[in-house]
Amino acid sequence: MLSEALKGKAPLRRVFWVYGVGVSVGYSALGLLVDPLNVKSIVVYTVIGLAIGVIQCIILWRCAPNSRSRLATSLTRLGVIVGLLTIPLFLYLLYAYPAAMIP
């Protein structure tokens, strides 16, 4: 199923709910196990989260035309662009201010 989505052959609705919402909620729940006082564990968790986000963006971009709605296709691709533009900013903040990740 993942290979189908990576090739852009999966329906956008399934990709959004399974790989977008489902994976994000699951990974966020996993984040509850990360020690908030350990900078290294927070950085590792964040970098893995960024990698997951990039994969989600690739899948969403490739599957966006599989929607029956042109508006859904356009909004999905706009969301992917905005998401990808925030990644360099987030990486810079993570590199420049790693202690800011600690509550």
5-49 per-position pLDDT tens digit:
999 999 999 999 999 999 999 999 999 999 888 888 888 998 899
* Dist CA 51 CA 94 (whole Å): 14
Give the pLDDT confidence of 45-61 residue by residue, as tens digits. Answer: 988 998 999 999 999 99
62 has pLDDT over 70 = yes
Q: What's the pTM value of the predicted model, to 2 decimals? A: 0.83
Banded model confidence at residue 102, pLDDT cuts 50, 70, 90: low
Per-residue 3-state assignment (H helix, E strand, C coil) for the chain: CHHHHHCCCCCHHHHHHHHHHHHHHHHHHHHHHCCCCCHHHHHHHHHHHHHHHHHHHHHHHHHHHHCCCHHHHHHHHHHHHHHHHHHHHHHHHHHHCHHHHCC
| Residue with the two structure tokens 């987030």 | 90
